[in-house]
């Protein structure tokens, strides 16, 4: 069967399947790809860097902001509970990668920032993480990436 005939058959089959079913199948595919990529990155961070994705995420949030963050700000950015963020920050602090500093205006509030060692380690992690994500997306062309970005942007607007 030629490529043109194959495409025509796919279009005919797609037209016979209700749009709601096609959307559901697309949602399931998005979840599957996301889970596969996340599992791959978790394993990569564990094997290559002896760290976890939550630790990477906390360090990334602190790196992006470049200013100390309160635990509640950090939790909000990461979309996790204060307890989850605290557990990860405790381990990072024990390893000398972050520091807690009491907030001047309210000593009950603690701000967290990367230490110099944490900054250096995160920059190495981030570079390796970027290379790994680049490999995961290597089959996508510039046009594919632009189209995917536009579709995800459209979906993001609908989800808000």
Domain assignment of residue 2, yes or no: no
Q: With residue 113 as reference, give the H or E element that holds it.
A: strand 110-114
Domain assignment of residue 83, yes or no: yes
Say yes or no to pLDDT of 160 above 80.
Answer: no
Say yes or no to pLDDT of 3 above 70.
Answer: no
Sign of the torsion formed by the C-alpha atoms of 3, 134, 54 and 73 = negative
Residue 119 or residue 16, greater confidence: 119
Question: Which residues does 136 contact at the CB level (< 8 Å), separation at least 6?
Answer: 37, 40, 41
Domain assignment of residue 108, yes or no: yes
The predicted pLDDT at position 13 comes to: 64
Are the C-beta atoms of 114 and 89 separated by less than 8 Å? no
The predicted pLDDT at position 10 comes to: 62
Q: Which pLDDT tens digit goes with each residue over 37-59?
A: 999 999 999 999 999 999 999 99
Query: Distance between CA 54 and CA 144 in Å, rounded?
Result: 29
Domain assignment of residue 8, yes or no: no
Give how many domains the chain has, as a whole number: 1
Domain assignment of residue 89, yes or no: yes
Q: Which pLDDT tens digit goes with each residue over 102-153?
A: 877 777 788 999 999 999 999 999 999 999 999 999 999 999 999 999 999 9
Say yes or no to pLDDT of 7 above 70.
Answer: no
Domain assignment of residue 66, yes or no: yes
CA distances from 79 to 12, 89, 141, 155 (A): 42, 15, 31, 19
Residue 15 or residue 138, greater confidence: 138
Domain assignment of residue 11, yes or no: no
Indicate which CATH number applies to the domain containing 39.
1.10.10.10
Domain assignment of residue 10, yes or no: no
Q: Which pLDDT tens digit goes with each residue over 56-95?
A: 999 999 999 989 999 999 999 999 988 889 999 999 999 9
Domain range holding 135?
A: 21-155
Residue from 90, 62, 65 nearest 82 by CA: 90
């Amino acid at each position: 069967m030629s490529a043109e005939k194959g495409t025509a058959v796919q279009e005919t089959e797609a037209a016979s399947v209700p749009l709601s079913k096609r959307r559901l199948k697309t949602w399931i595919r998005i979840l599957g790809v996301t889970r596969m990529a996340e599992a791959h990155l978790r394993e990569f961070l564990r094997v290559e860097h002896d760290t976890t994705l939550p630790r990477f995420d906390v360090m990334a949030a602190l790196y992006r902001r470049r200013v100390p963050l309160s635990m509640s700000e950090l939790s909000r950015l990461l979309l996790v509970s204060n307890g989850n963020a605290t557990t990860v920050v405790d381990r990072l602090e024990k390893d000398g990668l972050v520091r807690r500093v009491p907030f001047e205006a309210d000593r009950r509030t603690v701000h967290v920032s990367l230490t110099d060692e944490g900054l250096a380690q995160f920059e190495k992690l981030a570079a390796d993480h970027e290379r790994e994500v680049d490999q995961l997306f290597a089959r996508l062309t510039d046009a594919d990436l632009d189209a995917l970005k536009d579709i995800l942007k459209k979906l993001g607007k609908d989800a808000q």
